[in-house]
Amino acid sequence: MPLRSRPPRRRPLLVLPALFVVGALALTGCSTVAGLLSRGAASYEDKKEAMAAGNSPVPDWVPEDAKAIRLAFPAEGPGYLLAFTSKSGVRLADGCAAAPTGTPVAPPISADWWPHRAPTDDRRTCGSAEVARAGGTWYAWVKES
């Protein structure tokens, strides 16, 4: 008895998830897309603009003259990266302490503007944040949001 070959079954499994995502975004509107994008990063011209945003997590120890403020958030979980420029810098009197000596721990979050090597100049701890300067920019890994 000869074997009969059947035509291959088409499996639309790869197409269904893509259709589901497109459909869900279409039903919820553009605000969902904007919300997802804004969770990943934020930037402000200065501290005044960041504080006016209302939901900005810029800590109190960031100096009033801070400019070019950048934030990067993980997709899930606490913490974020922060960078800014400042002529006055992060002062020890602003609730910060000198960081312990040793190599700083690399944050589990990444951003294209974060230095490849952990900054080590003027290291401080400010609450849950590890803060250091590289050149004219201050970088902080805030461990809790």
pTM score = 0.70
pLDDT of amino acid 2: 57
Instruction: Give the DSSP letter string of 43-65.
Output: EEEEHHHHHHTSS----TTS-TT
pLDDT of amino acid 123: 93
Is the pLDDT score of 23 beyond 60? no
pLDDT of amino acid 20: 37
Sheet architecture: strand order including 96-98: 41-46, 67-72, 80-85, 137-142, 129-134, 121-126, 96-98
Position 132 confidence tier, pLDDT thresholds 50, 70, 90: very high
What whole-number distance in Å separates Cα of residue 107 and Cα of residue 128?
12
Q: 33-65 pLDDT, tens per residue?
A: 333 333 589 999 999 999 998 877 899 999 999
pLDDT of amino acid 96: 93
